[in-house]
Chain A
Amino acid sequence: MIQLFLMLLIGILLLCFALVALGRKARPKNEDSLDSETELSRMLRLTSLEFDSTILFSDTDYLLLASEPKLRLLARELQKDRKGIALEWLAELQKDVFSMWRFRSFLTRLGVGGIRDEFFEAVRSLRLLCLLCVIRISVKLFGPYASCNVIISLKAGVEKIKQSCAATLDSFPRERWPQIAAEWQRVQSL
């Protein structure tokens, strides 16, 4: 009897869970934008945003090593290593921002968005590209740990550009995406 009652209860609970899950899925736009972001990453081969840069620019382990007089040399080596990797990642991020800017212009050429949007996107991309240049110089001069907080906000800015780019791509019907990707490849190879 208890077993049956438990089964009944579990059944009802599972049903409630499934219905709640179904209700929460009523966000097709969000799902679509995720899809278009994924598609965008594939088309443009965006690699820099996949990398979690927080650890790279964090100075926790450096400070830990530097606090020990014996390990100061090691800390310096670590800083040098990090600097090289950070510069490489920043270069990749810069390349991706530029790609997204170009891709958005390409979509505008295909008939999406207006001059106003295009102008604001260009300003945003240019601002980020300039900031990236400054950060690269700063990393070269002062090492990777000086710009940890700036990097977080910078990455958020790049994410915003990506979302905007994905939203623009989303305004095209999905059936056209492979065609757009092919056309983009052709433009790239020119």
Chain B
Amino acid sequence: MAFLSLVLFLVGSCFQGLLFWRGRRWSGWRSYPLFYFYLSYTTFWTVAFLFFPHTHPLYPRVYWDSELGATVLRFFVAWEIFRGVFGRGVIRRIAGTAIFVVMVLLALAFWLTGPSPSVSLVADFMRRMALTAGVWTILVFGIACFYGIRIGKNIWGMAVGFLIFVSSEITNLAAFDLASWFAPIWRFLHPFAYIFMLAVWTWALWDYAPNPYNEISTSLGARLLSTWKRQSTALEETIRKVTQP
């Protein structure tokens, strides 16, 4: 088990290193700053826990605090996905409103249901936050699909990798409080989901591939529109003549 942990740690570190290296080559920091902030945070704690003795009395507290921080910072990635999919414009406003409404409804549902009795409060909070982040990502995908917005490889990979990890987190934390026989299975699988997310991110963010050109800001479009407007004025004139001879 210790050997497997070491292998996972090494593979994860390799992916993180590759992500930073590639990001530095095409200025990923500038394009996706919030995403790289989250990645830096997780990398920092990965390294920090290497030097933090597990037997130290402060270890559990620091570990859970760092996990809570990561849970909140995951919304940075969710925001980056939203920002990357919808450029500035009407669709972004529509998507923003839709997501805001769903988030409010979700918060309301969480508040009404309250924490389940005899469950860990931290796990409950993290589970709900993970669910919110997952729903956010699905909504972004759904709205993009509805409006026919093509998603670039960078954002697509970021979203899918994120969804894989977040869904595994929800399952893991639900299993944590639900069934003693199921929890160890998912606790074993969860680190693989994290590595898988890093692998998908590395693949998707290898090169700069933003959203394909979606807007129809062409000269012909503008010209035809102006022609249409000019001629529709004449049309209105004719309608007036017909209706009031």
Binding site for B on A (CB under 8 A): 1, 3-5, 7-8, 10-15, 17-19, 21-22, 25, 31, 34-35, 38, 41-42, 45, 47-48, 50-51, 70-71, 73-74, 77-78, 81, 84-85, 88-89, 92, 174
Contacts and interface: CB of A to CB of B under 8 A. Distances in A.
A71 B242 contact: yes
B235 A77 contact: yes
Count class of interface residues, chain B: 35 or more
A88 B223 contact: yes
B221 A15 contact: no
B219 interface: yes
Nearest to B193: A15
Given A34-B150, A35-B212, A85-B228, A92 B235 contact: no
Interface string B209-225: 10011001011110110
A73 B172 CA distance: 71
Interface string B188-223: 000001000000100000010100110010111101
B81 interface: no
A134 B47 CA distance: 71
B138 A17 contact: yes
Contacts of A70: 242
Nearest to B157: A25
B171 A15 contact: yes
A3 B128 CA distance: 11
B220 A78 contact: no
A139 B3 CA distance: 76
A78 B227 contact: no
Interface in B219-245: 219-221, 223-224, 227-228, 231-232, 234-235, 238-239, 241-242
23 contacts: A3-B116, A5-B174, A7-B170, A8-B175, A10-B134, A11-B168, A11-B172, A14-B134, A14-B138, A18-B160, A18-B163, A35-B212, A48-B220, A50-B216, A50-B218, A73-B238, A77-B234, A81-B231, A81-B235, A84-B231, A85-B227, A89-B224, A174-B207
B166 interface: yes
B74 interface: no
A18 B113 CA distance: 27
Contacts of B173: 7
A169 to B, nearest CB: 14
B177 A11 contact: no
Contact of B242 (A19, A42, A74): A74
B13 interface: no
5 closest cross-chain pairs (CB), A and B: A11-B171, A11-B170, A14-B167, A47-B220, A15-B167
A19 B156 contact: no
Contacts of A81: 228, 231-232, 234-235
Interface in B124-140: 127, 131, 134, 138
Given A15-B164, A18-B164, A51-B221, A4 B212 contact: no
Given A22-B160, A81-B235, A7 B242 contact: no
Given A12-B167, A14-B134, A50-B220, A74 B213 contact: no
Nearest to A35: B212
Contact of B220 (A5, A7, A51): A51
A78 B141 CA distance: 40
Contact of B167 (A18, A31, A41): A18
